[in-house]
Amino acid sequence: MPRKPWYRRKRYVIPLLLVVLFVVAIGPWPADNTPYAEAGYFAETAGRIAPPSKASGQLRAGFAETDITPQVGHQLAGFSARDPFDSDSIFSRCFARALTLSVGDVEVTILAVDLLLVNEQVAQAVLEKSGLKAGGIFFTATHTHGGPGQWGAHPIEQIIIGDYDADYSDRLAADLASAVTASREQMVPVDLGLAKTDATDGQVNRVDRARGTFDQLSALLFRHAGEPDAPPFAALVSYGAHATVSGHRSNAINADYPGALVDRLREATGTEHVMFAAGTVGDASPQRPQAATSEESAVKLGESLADELTKPVASADFQPTVTLANSYLPVDLPGVRVPVTAGLRLSPLSTRWIGPERSHLHVLRIGSALLIGFPGDYSGQLGTRLAGELAGNGVTAIPTSFNGDYLGYLVSDGDFYNAPKYETRVMNFYGPWLGPYLNDLAGRMARGTLP
């Protein structure tokens, strides 16, 4: 009897089938590197950009905050390397801070929370409990890695934020919604100011140490109308450095450097209410001043940044008449693409569950400032591009991260191809073009709020 061809012999066929099944189910697969501008999802989304809600006149503002510090023992969010996740003390308290702005019939609330991020699950619950529609709240977070966890059900989230607790997640959403509602109940007329400086000593580039970062440290200021000698009623500060100074070896509940910045700026300037929004954190690591403990190092950094803002706050010009514009855009996404290399990806059969098919962008024009919210760790390289494109319009771009959804690290195509790092491989879920794609859309939305 003639021998069977090698490919029909069991000792070859079974391993070959296993290899084929592995490649089909797991990968690697060739990656599609088609530029976003040639993709259908771009055309569909760009075609949905509509004129924003916009009004000019007297600005009114209301502020509220809620303490969201959990009990000791609650698990912390931020580091998969933290072991255990359980908190063992309270170093500084965590808050949800809400600032509602209105001009005419345009009204929106900015919600900044001492959390790692605000995911879609929590954001939707807050909107529902507040009785507001999408676009009614501009979400952001301080990105502290010492704040409460256990609020996300997604398996990947639980690797970083601890075991999901549905009851806690619901209570957290209720606390955030209460701050939103309270901020809308006592609105007062305010004038608008803007303070900014370049805080080059506060951060380093975590993707390429030889490259700079988006160093803008800004504060939107709101002062009671008709009181030119009074300190600001409220301030919204934004900066790019990751709030990771305390580190994964700390199990203390803490707001990291943003918490110290808020306290110091309030004390130094007399500002009644201060809140913080994470900026271009995607490629920015914090400097760590020498101190006895990592928590004290975070305090030093926060106080140093606040001190850099004190003079710009004191010399800021205020405007009595303001344009407020609100632009919200549902965004179609490219397919989930977990990279192996720049040209190879894991199989979509095993990875499509990782991320959503749709997200959103949110842009607020507040006078000459453009607050631009992105759904992830937005990078300074993208922020520098966007700010440069918009600067000719006489406005200041203030890009922020964690707008109520999370798509991973939002990096430039250049960094994706040339810098195989944690930010571009492990935490990149959509390939090289997501960051530039969102930047393009955000720029179009921002220009739509002008003049």
401, β-bridge pairs: 374
The C-alpha atoms of residue 285 and residue 48 are separated, in whole angstroms, by 35
| pLDDT at residue number 88 | 98
- CB atoms closer than 10 angstroms to residue 129: 17
Question: What are the phi and psi torsion angles at 26 (to 5°)?
Answer: -110, -45
**Amino acid identity, position 119:** N
| pLDDT at residue number 29 | 77
Read off the pTM: 0.94
| pLDDT at residue number 340 | 79
| pLDDT at residue number 207 | 95
Q: Are 241 and 281 in contact (CB under 8 A)?
A: yes
Cis ω on the peptide bond leading into residue 232 (within 30° of 0)?
no
Tokens for 170, please give them.
Answer: 């619901």
Give pLDDT tens digits for 344-395.
877 777 777 889 999 999 999 999 999 999 999 999 999 999 999 999 899 9
| pLDDT at residue number 344 | 82
Q: Taken in order 295, 301, 304, 305, is the CA torsion positive or negative?
A: negative
Q: Which residue has the tokens 């609650």?
A: 74
| pLDDT at residue number 24 | 58
Residue 4 has pLDDT above 70, yes or no: no
Tokens for 338, please give them.
Answer: 């977990």
| pLDDT at residue number 304 | 99
**Amino acid identity, position 146:** G
The C-alpha atoms of residue 25 and residue 347 are separated, in whole angstroms, by 6
Ranges of each domain in the chain: 1-451
Please state the three-class secondary structure of 246-297 as a single string: CCCCCCEECCHHHHHHHHHHHHHHCCCEEEEEECCHHHEEECCCCCCCHHHH
Residue 325 has pLDDT above 80, yes or no: yes
Q: Are 72 and 105 in contact (CB under 8 A)?
A: no
Give pLDDT tens digits for 247-264.
999 999 999 999 999 999
Residue 61: exposed, middle, or buried by beta-carbon count in 10 A (0-12, 13-18, 19+)? buried
Q: Where is average pLDDT lowest: 18-32, 271-285, 437-451?
A: 18-32
Tokens for 58, please give them.
Answer: 């007297």
Q: How confident is the model at residue 38 (pLDDT cuts 50, 70, 90)?
A: very high
Q: How confident is the model at residue 446 (pLDDT cuts 50, 70, 90)?
A: very high
Q: Are 115 and 147 in contact (CB under 8 A)?
A: yes
Give pLDDT tens digits for 148-193.
999 999 999 999 999 999 999 999 999 999 999 999 998 999 999 9
| pLDDT at residue number 342 | 79
The C-alpha atoms of residue 448 and residue 52 are separated, in whole angstroms, by 7
Of 128, 131, 153, 126, nearest to 141 by C-alpha is 126
| pLDDT at residue number 65 | 98
Residue 6 has pLDDT above 60, yes or no: no
The mean pLDDT of 112-117, rounded to a whole number, is 99
Residue 5 has pLDDT above 90, yes or no: no
The mean pLDDT of the chain is 94
Name residues whose C-beta falls within 8 Å of residue 5's C-beta, 6 or more positions apart in sequence.
none
| pLDDT at residue number 32 | 82
Residue 10 has pLDDT above 80, yes or no: no
Q: What percent of the chain has pLDDT over 90?
A: 85
| pLDDT at residue number 147 | 99
Q: How confident is the model at residue 22 (pLDDT cuts 50, 70, 90)?
A: low
Q: How confident is the model at residue 3 (pLDDT cuts 50, 70, 90)?
A: low
- CB atoms closer than 10 angstroms to residue 65: 17
Give pLDDT tens digits for 56-70.
999 999 999 999 999
Secondary element (H or E) of residue 359: strand 358-366
Tokens for 183, please give them.
Answer: 């901020």
The C-alpha atoms of residue 254 and residue 259 are separated, in whole angstroms, by 8
Q: Which residues of 162-183 are buried (b: 16+ CB within 10 A; e: fewer)?
A: bebbeebbeebbebbbbbbbbb
Output the CA–CA distances (angstroms, integers) from residue 383 to 35, 127, 183, 294, 328, in the order listed: 20, 28, 30, 29, 19
| pLDDT at residue number 425 | 87
Give pLDDT tens digits for 292-314.
999 999 999 999 999 999 999 99
| pLDDT at residue number 27 | 66
Residue 397 has pLDDT above 70, yes or no: yes
Give pLDDT tens digits for 199-218.
999 999 999 998 999 999 99
| pLDDT at residue number 347 | 73
**Amino acid identity, position 361:** L
Question: What are the phi and psi torsion angles at 229 (to 5°)?
Answer: -95, 0
User: Can you list the alpha helix ranges (DSSP code H) found in 288-433?
Assistant: 294-314, 348-351, 380-391, 413-418
